[in-house]
A and B are shown apart, each in its own frame.
Chain A
Amino acid sequence: MQHYETLFVLKPTLTEEEINSQVEKVKGILAKEEAELIATNTMGMRKLAYSVEKNNRGFYTVLYYKAQGTTIAELERNLRNNEDVIKFLTVKYGKAKEIVQFNKLVALTNRSSQPQASQVSEPSESQPQISEPSEIGESEQA
């Protein structure tokens, strides 16, 4: 079993029910292939940086799961044939170091999906605050 992450973008023209059914459909494929779904990050409706199939917005969903390698071929075949999916990307977390990061991402999504008082008390620990990147602007002005 390997660790994988799949992001897919659904068309903005779908209704809420249709979006849910599409997401469930993808999860159903994973379940059928005996993959272990660990976390789901619903990024929601976002503006696309460039138009894809004449769509300017898209509904982003990220799935974190453990699966056999053959699952990916089946999953991607289904995503490719599905006309409601306009973009998808699968990333494999293979090395031990990457798996540590995978677990961190899972913990992060689990935390953000349950908005509680604890979240306010520890503001995004895994995303260290960086000073505003004025560096880029300055270097270009100079």
Chain B
Amino acid sequence: MADNKKFKKRYCKYCEAKIDHIDYKDLSLLKLSLSERFKIMPRRLTGNCKNHQEMVTVAIKRARHTALIPYIVDRKNVVENPFEILK
């Protein structure tokens, strides 16, 4: 398992798709940088480039503010199917 990880080449998915702006209402784009608990994933895990990471960070924070995605998921506030609401 560790070997697989070692050789896996990470790349920025937003660069690959040639996205130059991340809209906070487009949840399918935000989904790529969110963990199961709706935390913002760090660049070292997703492989995002600096430029896109900054864009997606702002977009996720805006989406949280407008109740499109949750701030936190905990035992009191359980989401049964984490990515279902992103559809």
Given contacts A89-B62, A98-B21, contact A49 B4 (CB under 8 A): no
Whether B41 lies near A136 (C-beta < 8 A) is: yes
A50 to chain B, nearest CB (A): 5
Whether B19 lies near A128 (C-beta < 8 A) is: yes
Whether B17 lies near A128 (C-beta < 8 A) is: yes
Given contacts A133-B32, A139-B45, contact A7 B77 (CB under 8 A): no
Which A118-142 residues sit within 8 Å CB-CB of chain B? 127-130, 133, 135-136, 139-140, 142
Please give, as numbers and ranges, the residues of chain B lying within 8 Å of A136 by CB-CB distance: 32, 34-36, 41, 46
Per the bound structure, the CA–CA distance linking A130 and B52 in Å amounts to: 15
Please give, as numbers and ranges, the residues of chain A lying within 8 Å of B64 by CB-CB distance: 49
Number of A-B contacts (CB under 8 A): 71
B interface: dominant SS = loop
* Chain A interface extent, by class: 20 to 34
Which A34-56 residues sit within 8 Å CB-CB of chain B? 43, 46-50, 52
Whether A48 lies near B67 (C-beta < 8 A) is: yes
Which B14-67 residues sit within 8 Å CB-CB of chain A? 16-21, 23-26, 28-29, 31-32, 34-36, 41, 45-46, 62, 64-67
Whether A50 lies near B67 (C-beta < 8 A) is: yes
Choose among A43, A49, A52, A58 the residue that contacts B69 (Cβ–Cβ < 8 A). Answer: A49
Whether A49 lies near B17 (C-beta < 8 A) is: no
